[in-house]
Amino acid sequence: MFWSIAQISSFSFPDSVVPLAMRIMFVCLGNICRSPAAEAVCRTVLNRRGLEGQVEVSSSGTCGYHEGEPSDSRMRQAALQRGIDIINTSRKLRREDLDAYDMILAMDRENYEDILAMAETDAQRKKTALFRDFDPQGTGDVPDPYYGGRGGFHRVMEIIERTCEGLVESLKEKAGA
Ligand code: 4NP
């Protein structure tokens, strides 16, 4: 089950965190490619719009294979070419994150299903969505670039940049900013 646009527009942003102190967790598999890129891009978009003090972003992975490692050098390079510096140490998503964060955004359907399998409450399930539900040009997965060529990392950056703009725009609309 994935979110329709209608459901997103009725996303239950908690009153207490609009417009302050929204916490967003981006989740992929290894937390070395897609979710750290989404975290870094989103932070950049928030900074550009003067919202950095109002929204906190973080990232994690559903598996712990790469725990403690820096982000993939190919991902970092693709981001750097767009002026984004990814500084992250991989960590696994923890059950307490599902309470601590207001939005849990999965990079692909498999991540989404893994997060739902970890969730224990309706509140945790309700705050979980696919990241690309905020992509103004499409829906579905941010493709996993790990086993592909360098072009895949650039395509991932395009999707992430566009979707982060859509996400921040939707936060601003919800906050009435
Ligand atoms: P990520 O990419 O989930 O975007 O960080 C991957 C990183 C590592 C692996 C797969 C995807 N892996 O199989 O090790």
Question: Would you say residue 60 has pLDDT above 70?
Answer: yes
* Top-level class of domain 16-175: alpha beta
54 CA from centroid of ligand 1 (Å): 30
Ramachandran quadrant class, 140 (left: phi over 0; alpha: psi -120 to 50; beta: rest): left
pLDDT for 147-156, tens place per residue? 999 999 999 9
Closest CA to 8 of 169, 146, 160: 169
**Cross-strand bridge partners of residue 61:** 28, 92
Mean pLDDT, the chain, rounded, equals 91
The catalytically annotated residue of 34, 43, 76, 132 is 34
15: annotated active-site residue: no
Residue 136, classified by CB atoms within 10 Å of its CB into exposed (0-12), middle (13-18) or buried (19+), is exposed
pLDDT at residue number 21: 74
pLDDT grade, residue 10 (50/70/90)? low
pLDDT at residue number 18: 46
Decide: helix, strand or coil at residue 59: strand
- With a 6 A CB cut-off, is 30 part of the ligand 1 pocket? yes
DSSP 110-174: HHHHHHHHH--SHHHHHTEEEGGGG-TT--S-----TTS-HHHHHHHHHHHHHHHHHHHHHHHHH
pLDDT at residue number 9: 52
60 CA from centroid of ligand 1 (Å): 11
pLDDT grade, residue 132 (50/70/90)? very high
- With a 6 A CB cut-off, is 33 part of the ligand 1 pocket? yes
pTM for the whole thing?
A: 0.90
Q: Which of 31, 33, 59 most suits a substitution to test ligand 1, by most atoms within 8 Å of the C-beta?
A: 33
Q: State whether the Cα torsion 141-143-144-147 is positive or negative.
A: positive
pLDDT for 19-57, tens place per residue? 457 999 999 999 999 999 999 999 999 999 999 899 999
Whose alpha carbon is nearest atom 7 of ligand 1? 30
